[in-house]
């Protein structure tokens, strides 16, 4: 993932599209010194303390990109749903780790105040389910009344993948890491290229497995 500076608020469609290309649009200004524990708007503390460390986690980075890929060419109503899923995961997500529930959302990691609050009995905790999560309303200038708890990043990624498959669009997309571009899988040539890539990767896998025997 790369950070790209942005001067103001992007539309949900533009912001999510960036994630598909492994680009995270980032603010550069800093919160007011009189309110260090919470900021209603993202600031550079939020970006650098909240978002950046998690992009170093392979599984989480992929999860973020999945949401972005799902947004490409999606109808407006689904962009809103994906933006809501993003809000309750990447921004304010909680996740199980063993028997503990931990915060991973950047909005929580960059807000000392809300981080303490989310572990109190006041907010409601619900299991992460994109179908339901995507319909949840939320305030943007105060602590969240509801949080969604994922079983794991892998589980959340799988659920978002299944949810994305229900988005009506006439094509599938794939990120090509070699060219850092998006391929639209809507013709036999593209599918045959993809099959070639999978074949080559499988060859490497088989070779490595043999060496382990």
9: region left, alpha or beta (phi > 0 left; psi from -120 to 50 alpha)? beta
Span of 28-36, 54-62, 79-87, 106-114 interacting with Fe ion by CB under 5 A: 106-114
Span of 53-61, 104-112, 122-130, 173-181 interacting with Fe ion by CB under 5 A: 104-112
3-state secondary structure of 21: coil
Helix pair 76-86, 12-20: axis angle to 10 deg: 70
Decide if 80 is catalytic. Answer: no
**Minimum distance of Fe ion from residue 106's CB (angstroms):** 5
**Minimum distance of Fe ion from residue 116's CB (angstroms):** 19
Nearest-CA neighbor of 159 among 183, 140, 131?
Answer: 131
Decide if 25 is catalytic. Answer: no
The residue (of 29 and 171) whose beta carbon lies closer to Fe ion is 29
199 among the known binding-site residues? Answer: no
The residue (of 42 and 68) whose beta carbon lies closer to Fe ion is 42
25 among the known binding-site residues? Answer: no
**Minimum distance of Fe ion from residue 159's CB (angstroms):** 21
Q: Which helix (H) or strand (E) holds 190?
A: helix 188-212
Decide if 51 is catalytic. Answer: yes
Long-range contacts of the stretch 23-32 (C-beta < 8 A, 24+): 24/51, 24/55, 24/64, 26/51
Decide if 26 is catalytic. Answer: no
Active-site annotation holder among 12, 25, 47, 51: 51
**Residue among 106, 109, 150, 156 that touches Fe ion (CB under 5 A):** 106
Torsion of CA 8, 68, 52, 29, to 10 degrees: 0
3-state secondary structure of 45: helix
* Cα–Cα dist 26/42, whole Å: 9
The residue (of 105 and 130) whose beta carbon lies closer to Fe ion is 105
Binding to Fe ion, residues 17-46 (CB under 5 A): 42
Angle at 84 (CA atoms; ends 108, 10), nearest 5 degrees? 85
68 binds Fe ion (CB under 5 A): no
The residue (of 106 and 108) whose beta carbon lies closer to Fe ion is 106
**Minimum distance of Fe ion from residue 74's CB (angstroms):** 20
Residues with catalytic roles: 46, 51, 91, 110
Interface ranges with Fe ion (CB under 5 A): 42, 106
């Amino acid at each position: 993932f790369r950070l790209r500076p942005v001067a103001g608020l992007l539309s949900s469609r533009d912001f999510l599209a960036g994630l598909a290309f492994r680009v995270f649009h980032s603010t550069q200004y800093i919160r007011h010194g009189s309110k260090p524990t919470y900021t209603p708007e993202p600031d550079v503390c939020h970006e650098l303390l909240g978002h950046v460390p998690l992009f170093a986690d392979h599984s989480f980075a992929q999860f973020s990109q999945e949401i972005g890929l799902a947004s490409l060419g999606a109808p407006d109503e689904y962009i809103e749903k994906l933006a809501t899923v993003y809000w309750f995961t990447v921004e304010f997500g909680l996740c199980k780790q063993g028997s503990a529930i931990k915060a991973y959302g950047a909005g929580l990691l960059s807000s000392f105040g809300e981080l303490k609050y989310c572990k109190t009995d006041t907010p409601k905790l619900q299991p992460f389910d994109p179908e339901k999560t995507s319909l949840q309303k939320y305030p943007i200038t105060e602590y969240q009344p509801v949080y969604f708890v994922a079983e794991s990043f892998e589980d959340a990624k799988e659920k978002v993948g299944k949810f994305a498959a229900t988005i009506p669009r006439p094509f599938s997309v794939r990120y090509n890491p070699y060219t850092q571009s998006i391929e639209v899988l809507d013709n036999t040539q593209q599918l045959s290229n993809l099959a070639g890539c999978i074949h080559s990767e499988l060859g490497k896998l088989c070779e490595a497995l043999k060496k382990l025997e």
